[in-house]
């Protein structure tokens, strides 16, 4: 089997599996009701995924761990975290983080 065919079949299989998983929630949604413990656990999935996506860029902007004050990404993330705690607004958090990053990159 050629490399391209194997990659294509793998991509097709991954797409099919993803589709079937999503379809199962639509088709079986009425019959499947997660318990209270599962609902509480699922409540933490979005923040955990967001942290997993953001943390590498914030803590390792150049490919290696950098927790110094010269790390503009870390300083901007801290600024955004303060705004998030104070305002509870996603828009204010994102905007403040972006502005802080642009200002810090310009000055540092």
pLDDT tens by residue, 29-41: 777 777 889 889 9
pLDDT given for residue 100 in this prediction: 97
Q: Are residues 20 and 46 in the same domain?
A: no
pLDDT given for residue 1 in this prediction: 77
Q: Are residues 1 and 54 in the same domain?
A: no
pLDDT given for residue 24 in this prediction: 84
Q: Are residues 26 and 42 in the same domain?
A: no
Specify the pTM: 0.65
Domain that holds residue 66: 38-108
pLDDT given for residue 25 in this prediction: 79
Q: Are residues 79 and 94 in the same domain?
A: yes
Q: Give the CA distances from residue 13 to residues 20, 32, 41, 101, in Å, rounded to whole numbers and listed in that order.
A: 10, 25, 29, 40
Structure tokens at 27: 């088709």
Number of domains within the chain: 2
**pLDDT-flagged residues of the chain (< 50):** none
Instruction: Answer yes or no: are the C-beta atoms of 47 and 75 closer than 8 Å.
Output: no
């Amino acid at each position: 089997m050629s490399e391209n065919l194997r990659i294509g079949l793998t991509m097709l299989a991954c797409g099919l599996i993803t589709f079937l998983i999503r379809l199962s929630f639509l088709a079986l949604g009425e019959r499947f009701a997660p318990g209270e413990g599962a609902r509480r656990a699922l409540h933490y999935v979005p923040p955990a995924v967001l942290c997993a996506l953001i943390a590498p860029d914030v803590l390792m902007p150049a490919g290696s761990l950098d927790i110094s004050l010269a790390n503009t990404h870390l300083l901007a993330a801290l600024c955004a975290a303060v705004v998030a705690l104070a305002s509870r607004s996603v828009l204010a958090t994102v905007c403040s983080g972006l502005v802080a990053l642009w200002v810090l990159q310009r000055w540092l």
